[in-house]
Amino acid sequence: MRRIMAIVLAGVFVPTLLFSQELLQIRGSDTMVNLVQRLAEVYMEKNPQVACAVSGGGSGVGIAALIANRVHIANASREMKEKEYAAAKENGVIPVEIAIAIDALSIAVNSSNPITKLTKEQIGAIFRGEITNWSEVGGPNLPISLYGRQPNSGTYVFFQEFVLGNKNYSPRMKQMNGNAQIVEALRTDRGGIGYVGVGYVRDEHGQVIPGLKVVDVAKEAKSPGVSPLVTENITSGRYPIARALYQYSKGTPKGAVRSFIAFELGPEGQKIVEEMGFYPVSGKYLEANKKLGF
C-alpha cells in the first residue's frame, strides 16, 4: 500500500519538478467549469509552459478566493457586488471584469407538462411561491414543485435579481447542487419546474434530453414566446433571460493570464464556447473587452 502511494505521489510530483511550469489557478462558477476546463485543455496543448487548474464551487466561492488572493482568475456567472469590490479593495486586489461568453437560462419542465409558454412575470411569481398550482398558468391541476440552485451559485443570484425582481425565493424550493441534478429531477417530477443553463438541456447530439421540455419565455403577456434553443434569439437579445459569463482577474490581465484570456476571446476559443452550448460574446461586452485591448 505504502509503496503504491509513493509511486503515485512520485508520478504526480516528478513531472512538475522536471518542467517548471507556470500554474494558473482558476476557480468559481459551476455553470462555467466545463467550458473553462475545455478551453484550458486546448490552451495547454498549444502552450505547454502554462498549466491551468480549473475548479468549480460556485461564483461566490471563486470571487471569495480572488478577494483572498488565492486564485489568478475567478469565474463568475454574475457581476461582482459592490460589497465584494469593497472587500477586494481592502485586501489590495483590484478585480477587472471580462465577459468570455453569453449564457441563456432555460426554464425547463417535465415533458408530460402541456405548458409551452410562460411570461417572465409568471416565472418570477412561481419561484417566489405566489403561484403554486399549474392550473393558475393554464396547465393541469397539479401542484408546482420548484427546483433551484444553492445560494453559492451565480445562477441562483442572477435568477433572483433578474427574474424574481430581487425578492425572496419560496422557502419550498428544493436547492440542488448543480445544473445536472435539476435536469435529473425534472425528468421524473411531473409537476416540476427548474432553471438551467441552455448548455445543460441538450444531450451530445444537440437534442433536448428525453423527459425534459424547454418552455418558451415571453417578456410580457402580449409578446410572443421566445425559445432559447434558437441561437439567433439569444445573440440578438430577444430571449429575456440571458446573461454574460465573466472572468475576473487581479488588475489588468498580464502574462499568462492575459494570453489565456486572449485565447478564450479569439476565434478558436469562441468556437469552443459555441460547442459547449453557450454563445459568443457580442454587443456591449465586445466593446468593453476592446477597451482592455482584447
Partner 1 sequence: MKENALRFFFAANGVLAIVILLGIFSLLFTESLPALKELGVGEFLFHLCWDPTSPERASYGILAMVLSTFMVSFGALAIAVPVGVACAAFLADVAPPQVREFLKPVVEILASIPSVVVGFLGVVLVGPFIARLFHMPSGLCALNGALLLAVMALPTIVSICEDAIVSVPQEFKSASLALGATKWQTLVHVTLPSASSGIIAAVMLGMGRAIGETMTVLMATGNAAAVPRSFLDPVRTMTATIAIEMGETVQGSLHYQSLFVIGLLLFCMTFAVNVVSDLVLERFQRVRR
- Provide the CB-side half-sphere exposure for 240 (13 A, CA): 23
Shortest approach of partner 1 to residue 162 CB, angstroms? 12
Nearer to partner 1, 60 or 199 (CB): 60
Alpha-helical (H) ranges within 140-226 are 154-162, 179-188
Q: Are the CB atoms for 126 and 173 separated by under 8 Å?
A: no
Q: Is 185 exposed, middle or buried (0-12, 13-18, 19+ CB in 10 A)?
A: middle
Nearer to partner 1, 67 or 245 (CB): 67
* Sequence-separated (6 or more) residues with CB below 8 Å from residue 210: 111, 187, 203
Shortest approach of partner 1 to residue 216 CB, angstroms? 23
Shortest approach of partner 1 to residue 147 CB, angstroms? 8
Shortest approach of partner 1 to residue 123 CB, angstroms? 17
Q: Which residue, 153, 143, 145, 186, is CA-closest to 59? A: 153
Shortest approach of partner 1 to residue 73 CB, angstroms? 17
Q: Which residue ranges make up the site for partner 1 (CB under 8 A)? A: 57-58, 60-61, 64, 67-68, 83-84, 87, 143, 145, 150-152, 157, 160-161, 166-177, 181, 184-185, 188-192
Type of residue at 173: M
Nearer to partner 1, 121 or 268 (CB): 121
Q: Which residue, 113, 79, 120, 125, is CA-closest to 98? A: 79
Q: At what angle do helices 255-265 and 267-275 cross, to 10 degrees?
A: 60
Shortest approach of partner 1 to residue 257 CB, angstroms? 23
Cα separation values, 169 from 8, 176, 180, Å = 46, 14, 20
Q: Which residue, 244, 246, 260, 242, is CA-closest to 98? A: 246
Nearer to partner 1, 136 or 268 (CB): 136
Nearer to partner 1, 209 or 288 (CB): 209
Nearer to partner 1, 147 or 260 (CB): 147
